[in-house]
Amino acid sequence: MDITFCCADTNADEWLPGLRAALPEATITLWQAGAPPARYAIVWQPPRQFFAEQLQLRALFNMGAGVDALMGPHLSPNTLVVRLNDAGMADQMAEYVCHALIRHFREFAAYDQDMAQRQWTYREPLPREQFPVGVMGLGALGERVARAVGVFGFPVRGWSRSAKQITGVECFSASEGFAPFLRGTRVLVNMLPLTAETESILNRSTLSQLQRGAVLINVARGRHLVEEDLQPLLDGGQLAAAVLDVFRQEPLPADHPFWSDSRITITPHTAARTLFQETVAQISGKLRALERGEAIAGVVDMQRGY
């Protein structure tokens, strides 16, 4: 089994020994331009030259959950694209979203300001029924997030392409379910994959349908949000705050207006990181299953784009 490894922003000196230890039967090499065609690849945002040269891949394993950076006509139709399923990311997403939600609900930003002024000021408790949380995308990560939010007693709703039943979550689906989902949501969490259907789905029109004083938590992809629509919605009070982990351009440019807006919290695409042990175990398990001719989870449907 020959495997080529081509991962941007990834420490190959750590990952290659780990993968080789997990797959001693395989030959795993670091991809470089002109390398011979391999049977399998493990990738994260590979360059176009990689696709131009690696034309005989049986499967391409993505080192993340989102495969948007891989999609396009450069992919051979005979290559399976396989994404990470959870691999430790769902718990991280649940932590991130619960922190952002509770930080807003319990008004921690206001207490931070009070502390800077040495001020001891009580605020009245807010009823959590007034903060229904809506999770867009109920897949490997979104379902975990919806369940975690429910533990704190917030009303939880979710929206997905296909109809779902999740205990404790009011589920909506497809385009006809989108408007009622938005209407009853105050804290909107985006956990959708980036596809032709979901690009720019967070915009003036959709965010205006949320309950007034809404909070946006975008932990999926920057291209889901029409960035120039955000600050006017905050100025007008339709949105109270936004917590953004992902941006159209990453790293976020130093002169981007979001940096200096105290209503916007910015983190550097870190909501759920690719974890070493979980990922090595998942990819090596799937590679072996494929070699045995077994079906594996996480094969991307190229028509749907996720």
Task: Show which residues are catalytic.
Answer: 221, 269
Residues near ligand GLV (CB under 6 A), total: 4
**What is the distance between the alpha carbons of residues 222 and 305, in angstroms, rounded to a whole number?**
17
Minimum distance between the CB of residue 300 and ligand GLV, rounded to whole angstroms?
A: 12
- What is the Cα–Cα distance from 75 to 193, expressed in whole angstroms? 18
What is the spatial distance between Cα 269 and Cα 134, in angstroms, rounded to a whole number? Answer: 21
Question: Residue 71 pairs with which residues in a beta bridge?
Answer: none
Which of ligand GLV, ligand NAP, none binds 223 (CB below 5-8 Å, type-dependent)? none
Choose from ligand NAP, ligand GLV, none: what does 81 bind? Cβ within 5-8 Å by kind. none
Measured from the CB of residue 274, what is the shortest distance to ligand GLV in angstroms? 6
303 binds, among ligand GLV, ligand NAP, none (CB under 5 to 8 A by kind): none
**Shortest Å distance, C-beta 220 to ligand GLV:** 8
Among 10, 18, 35, 66, binds ligand GLV (CB under 6 A): 66
Whether the link from the prior residue into 47 is cis, omega within 30° of 0, is no
Q: Does residue 279 contact residue 92 with C-beta atoms inside 8 Å?
A: no
Instruction: Name residue 131's amino acid.
Output: F
Kindly tell me which of 41 and 201 has the beta carbon lying closer to ligand NAP: 201
State the residues that interact with ligand NAP by CB under 6 A: 64-66, 89, 137-142, 159-162, 191-195, 197-198, 219-221, 245-246, 269, 271-272, 306
Integer-rounded Cα radius of gyration of the chain: 21
8 Å CB contact between 98 and 149: yes
**3-class DSSP state of 235:** helix
Instruction: List interacting residues with ligand GLV (CB under 6 A).
Output: 64-66, 274
